[in-house]
Structures are given as structure tokens and as C-alpha cells.
Amino acid sequence: MSQPFAEVAEAFSRTAEKYDHFAEDHPHLSRLRLRIYNHLIPHLKPGASILELNAGTGIDAVYLAQQGFRVHATDIAPGMLQRLRDKVESLDLQDRVTLQLVSFTELEKVQGGPFDAVFSNLGGLNCIPDLSPVVHSLPALLRPGGLVTWVLMPRVCLWELALVFRGDFKVAFRRLARGGTRSHLEGMHFMIYYFTPSQALSAFGKQFIPLDLEGLCVFAPPAESKNLARQHPRLYRWLSWLDDRLASRAPFHGWGDFFVITLRYSPSQP
């Protein structure tokens, strides 16, 4: 594993337990995940097979398995996958969830394909400056008509830009920095890169047909906000109402803490 990805793997292994603890009793993050699932699940047949990239501690893999899907969960962080393995065993989901320690930059090593969908949630793919190498691996992994649903971090996040009024210019403008932003987690440092929807779409050829695009947490707070939904429920409901009505429209569909993009693989396209 190259040094940058080795640091990413170590950082997320170290934070695996904290990651699960943070997700507990987090109504805003739960709502965000449900919006993401609504982009993926309606396009899939019952019992469909899903390749998950950057599966983390398996929150999504477990949920999807409990909905009747088969999930091959991959990640580069051993600590994350160990948390997922424990969940799979405790919930008796061994027949629906398989695990593999592999990077999304080495998808030729993925076992068990082809799949009905390739799913990646909450910005795991923002660790590379160009999505094209990952996209080029997809035809060998997807069945014709298969789905790609990725959740990426965009360059425009209103909540972060608003930090300029508090004098926090570094965070306010970090997504606009050319060449990515140096990030740190659990004492490890690595680069994060942000994409516009047009940049993401340009990585896909004509064989991938766009189906859905929606900004996530455009007006509602970022995923890291755990208290606003509980302490100010009326304000939170109003902000969520704005998201529900505007986040799928231009220009908001490419803004937010994240955006979700869904495409259909159609190899018969010229």
C-alpha cells in the first residue's frame, strides 16, 4: 500500500470505535443515511448484490443486508473491518455480508463479482484527486444495467463558508483550495480532494447514464452536527424542509456537506 493510503488506513483504524460511538443516537446522521439509501434501493431488485467501497465499520452494509441485499464490503482500514466483522457475527449476517481488505485503487483484486451495484458513502472516494481510475475498473465489476451510487464531498458547503464570519478562514475556504487540502485524523495526515458534480460526471464515459443527483446537508447542518437536531428541533425541521425541496435543483444539487450521484451502467451505449 502506498504511503498516503497507509496513513489513511491507520487513521481510520484508530478511530473505528469512536466512529461507531459518534453515530449512536444521531438523528441527523440517520436522516442523512436514509436519504442516501433512497437513491440506491429503489433502483435495485430484491436480493441484489452490492459492492461497497470504503465500507468503514459497516453501518451501511448491515442496514442493506437487513433489507435483504447481499453486500461485499471492502475497506483499507483493518480496524474498521474488524468492527464490521463483529457486527456481522453478532447479527448472524454471514450469509449476506462478506468482507475484503482491499483499496478502491486495486479493484481488480475484488472477489465475488459481478455485482448489481457499486456503492460508496460519505466521501470515502475523496481521498484521491481523480475518480477516473476507479471508474475504469467498474465495467469488470458491474452487470449490464448495474448501478453506481456514490456520495462525494463537493467544493461548495454553505455551512463551512459561513465560518468566514467567525474568522475561521482556513476551514471556510478549504474546499476551494487547488490541489486538495491536507487533513489529519488520529495523528495521521493525508490529502482530501473535493469534486463538483461535473467533475464527477466527466470521469464516467457514455456507458454510464446519470439517473439522480442531489446535494446533501445543503441547508441542514453538516453530518458532524449532532446537537442541532436535538436542541433546536423546530429550526432543524425547517432546514431539513428546505433540503427536501431544493437540494435536487440546480445549483443546490452540487452543494452541501456531500452530494449523491447515481448512474446506470449501460455497456450497449455507443
Can you read off the three cell numbers belonging to residue 177? 483550495
Q: What is the pTM of this model?
A: 0.96
Q: In the prediction, which pLDDT does 4 show? A: 67
Count other C-beta atoms under 10 Å from residue 169's C-beta: 10
- Residues with Cβ within 8 Å of residue 219, at least 6 apart in sequence: 158, 239, 240, 242, 243, 246, 247
Show contacts of 66-70: CB within 8 Å, 24+ apart: 66/91, 66/93, 67/41, 68/96, 69/44, 69/96, 70/96, 70/97
CA-nearest of 263, 259, 239, 240 to 250 is: 259
Q: What is the CA radius of gyration of the chain?
A: 18
Q: In the prediction, which pLDDT does 3 show? A: 57
Q: In the prediction, which pLDDT does 88 show? A: 98
Q: In the prediction, which pLDDT does 269 show? A: 61
3-265 to CATH, choices 3.40.50.150, 3.90.1150.10, 3.30.70.3420, 3.40.47.10: 3.40.50.150
Q: In the prediction, which pLDDT does 32 show? A: 97
Q: Where are the alpha helices (DSSP H) in the chain?
A: 3-14, 16-23, 27-40, 59-66, 78-90, 132-137, 158-161, 169-172, 197-202, 228-231, 233-246
Is the peptide bond preceding residue 133 cis, with omega within 30 degrees of 0? no
Q: In the prediction, which pLDDT does 268 show? A: 80
Task: Give the mean pLDDT per block of 10 residues along the chain (270 residues).
Answer: 78 94 95 97 97 98 98 98 98 98 96 97 96 97 98 98 97 94 93 97 95 98 95 97 97 97 88
Q: In the prediction, which pLDDT does 97 show? A: 98
Domains of the chain, by residue range, sit at 3-265
CA-nearest of 30, 109, 31 to 74 is: 109
